[in-house]
Amino acid sequence: MLATDLDSYHRGRVMPETKTKILVCNAGSSSLKFSLFDAEDEALLADGGIDWIRKPTRLIFRRAGQPEIREELELEKHADAAARILDDLQAGPSPALASLEDVRAVGHRVVHGGERFTSAVRITAEVKREIEHLGELAPLHNPASLDGINVVEQVLPKALQVAAFDTAFHATLSEAARTYPLPQKWTRQWGIRRYGFHGLSHSYCAGQAAKMIGRRDLRLVIAHLGNGASVAAVRDGVCVDTSMGFTPLEGLMMATRSGTIDPGILIYLLQHKGLDAEELDKALNYQSGLLGISGISSDLRQILSELPHNPDARLAVDVYVHRIVQTIGAMAATLGGIDALVFTAGVGEGSPEIRKRVCEKLKYLGLELDRAANETCEPDADIAMPASIARILVIATREDLTIMRETRRLVGSSLGRYRGNEHARPSLIIDENNRQTSAPLGQKRASPVRE
């Protein structure tokens, strides 16, 4: 028996009685990460990835109840990586996949959806053309996502493919919040506007925060602090502002990205120092941020270890924290106050020192940190003092689970009378009756530094 309408999906009854497996793919320029889910109970059956950004190429493969596999490989193409991952999923006496036919659908993370894609969509030839066209706005990300989509299309031709966009959660920004004060030709003809990124992470954390606090009418400030970093202001589950803009370069200081700087600096460097656009791009995206100021590393853990004896390390951390505090304060002003501050991603989840330094400067917002809880917490956790006016949450972001849920929604809609309505805007936070009881892997996973 198969339920076919979206109302029954939100009651958790859309999937067939047989187990339905959904594969989630996140293709980077030199990597392919994956997660395999049982779509009915949201159990994570296996995850890992292949990364060839450094030599030799490295494979990580995890399955519940089994030792983690780490292996060095020689492959350097998305097609070869996908083939190897699918082979591993079918390997062993009790494989995660009995056959490729078990994969009902594949969800792909796509960084930039532009103005057109404001929710997840089923992938068609037209959608692929638009993702390719948007590659000029995300040259490091969209082409890689398209490679992943094309590879999976060849290997799993019967599986429904879905694109989930990092920009979609921010499609609710008001015209005032998304508009740059630039000439109309730039904004109206060339599409120069604020899009925002890390939306899959912000969406998941907004839903999880509502679940933890027990209400949805919240003013949330979510700090996604990883290699890339952004802050979002979310009211009642809807994004109203965010720190990233036209590109992921705007906003906070990051591992190797500058974040927001005076545009006049770029004009000065072009006119008086002989730099060209390519040199500016390289410097701002790969040589700035924590790496640029510290001169040590883009890894915050290493910089923190050198604080006692390295003034450049101290300056890097001071600027990093200053920019975070400044941005959180701006988001709280936009919301007219704050009910909870959320820390997520690699630094947000894994650095008690940064959380402490940030919260110490935000007491005026009613945030009172429990220092003992901060030092010992495991996500998901509330690390505010009981008397704190606003809560302080540490949440392990699950972009893969968000993509799986969006894919599952479209698998359900493709089965019944909603077929073809892939552009219907979904709730990017799961319905309150869906209790979000995701089953983790049997063994504890190391938390990578997330983008």
Catalytic machinery residues: 166
Please tell me the distance from the alpha carbon of residue 299 to that of residue 294, in angstroms, as a whole number: 10
User: What amino acid occupies position 170?
Assistant: H
Q: Are the C-beta atoms of 86 and 78 separated by less than 8 Å?
A: no
Structure tokens at 349: 């989840």
Structure tokens at 258: 């500058």
> Any alpha helices (H) in 197-262, and if so which ranges?
199-213
25: CB partners within 8 A, 6+ apart? 32, 33, 34, 82, 106, 107, 108, 109, 148, 152
- Across-strand partners of 43? 38, 439
Please tell me the distance from the alpha carbon of residue 53 to that of residue 55, in angstroms, as a whole number: 7
Please tell me the distance from the alpha carbon of residue 330 to that of residue 340, in angstroms, as a whole number: 15
Between the two ends of the chain, the Cα-to-Cα distance in Å is: 41
Structure tokens at 298: 């883009």
CA angle 148, 153, 157 (to 5 degrees): 155
Structure tokens at 266: 């770029």
294: CB partners within 8 A, 6+ apart? 303, 306, 310, 312, 313, 315, 316
Place of tokens 């990460």: 33
Please tell me the distance from the alpha carbon of residue 54 to that of residue 334, in angstroms, as a whole number: 42
- Across-strand partners of 33? 26, 49
Please tell me the distance from the alpha carbon of residue 309 to that of residue 295, in angstroms, as a whole number: 14
372: CB partners within 8 A, 6+ apart? none
How far lies 58's CA from each of 30, 33, 158, 171, 396, in Å? 11, 11, 29, 36, 24
To the nearest 10°, report the CA torsion of 350, 223, 252, 321.
-60
Please tell me the distance from the alpha carbon of residue 155 to that of residue 131, in angstroms, as a whole number: 20
